Amino acid sequence: MMPKRKRIYLDYAASTPTCAKALKEAERILENNWGNPGSLHEEGRLAISELDKARQNFSEKLGVNFRDVIFISSATEANNLVISGAAAAYRTKHRQGGRIIISSVEHDSVRIPSRALLKSGFEVIEVRPAKNGIVDPHKVLESVSEETFLVSIICANNEVGSIQPIKKIALGLKEKNSKTLLHTDASQALQFMDCSSQSLGADLITLSSQKIYGPRGAGALILPEKIRSLIHPQILGGHQEWGVRSGTENVSAIVGFSAALSCVYKNREKEAARINKLKLALWEGIKKNHRWALINGPLPKNTLPHILNIRFPKVPADALLSALDMQGISASAGSACAMRSPEASPTLLSMGLSETAAKESIRFSIGRPTSSKDIKNTLFALQKSLNDLTGLSG
């Protein structure tokens, strides 16, 4: 019997494995502190104590107050809460729809709920990026009006890795309309960038556990207590998380999330440099073997270290991904949330790619377990796959 070949996973932007420390902490809670944190008895008090420790850790790492950290089930839920909650609060106060500004490279959990507001009389402005996927802050600020109650710009794009000028937008908003809230989804950025409130300048920040080697089922929204009235709750029926998000907290996942956050902060710069070196080696190898390959997004600056989005002209992405998968390589065509959709990536289309070009693009994303040997083996598998698909000899 042939030994099973080791698979090479290069889809860490979609999801990461739970690291040992986070897994250990989550299992500890499941085994010993499974009480409801809303209960007054000892089991409940032990659970709320663990929740408080995790909240304090986020508070310290992100430079916010203890009560500004809202635990939630996922980044998708956090983004929906911000978009729909801000719109509900605005309508309640003004009795009409206002304006929201997003970029056209947002995750679907921002783009889709924003567009849904159009049916309710809200105005939604989508700012297109440059060809490298980076949004011009001046274009964002030009669209800000007196009726603009929210600007939501992703911190770093999940498909091409482009890092957005959030701080510049934040500073400009204070001058243009200080009442406008600024939200950023920092799910992809957290493990590589300083996503503190001071660094980004955003009012609201979305975070995800599964993007930083924490358990699934946990996320966080940085929502300062002083602006809490500007975001109406969307899940009702309880008083958890100070009434912002009803439902018993997933203490085990949250404690694991906190442990993962601590691990990120220990080696962030060193690991970012290591992963970026592997990414550049992958790109250099691709260019050497396939000079006709094209990169989508910025390189080497203003980009996350782990994401590499490449277009292989005249090679359908689904066929290439299938061929790579057969050779033990896991990559993707973009956002995992839209992988079953036959539509071309809205992010790539907004960057100026044609529908055909967008459907010829795949994303490699590198993670902690990735080695230089994995990159070499990936290049070998990629060359074989492309040769097979284009009818070239090995």
- Residues paired with residue 125 on neighbouring β-strands, in sequence order: 101
d(Cα 392, Cα 17) in Å, to the nearest integer?
36
d(Cα 301, Cα 305) in Å, to the nearest integer?
9
Separation of first and last alpha carbons in the chain: 27
Instruction: Determine which helix (DSSP H) or strand (DSSP E) holds 219, and give its type and residue range.
Output: strand 219-222
Cα separations in angstroms, 178 against 221, 231, 278, 347: 21, 16, 42, 29
Instruction: Determine which helix (DSSP H) or strand (DSSP E) holds 158, and give its type and residue range.
Output: none
Helix (H, G, I), strand (E, B) or coil at 274: helix
Tokens matching residue 19: 């690291």
Residues 6+ away with beta carbon under 8 Å from 341: none
d(Cα 155, Cα 110) in Å, to the nearest integer?
12
Q: Which of 266, 45, 212, 226 is nearest to 53 (CA)?
A: 45
Catalytic annotation present for 337: yes
Tokens matching residue 224: 């300062």
For 18, which DSSP code? Answer: P
Residue type, 45: R
DSSP assignment of 167-227, as one string? HHHHHHHHHH-TTSEEEEE-TTTTTTS---HHHH--SEEEEESTTTT--SS-EEEE--GGG
Tokens matching residue 170: 């934040």
Choosing from 19, 195, 263, 337, the catalytic residue is: 337
For 318, which DSSP code? Answer: H
Residues 6+ away with beta carbon under 8 Å from 27: 252
Tokens matching residue 387: 């040769």
Q: Which residues participate in catalysis according to the annotation?
A: 337
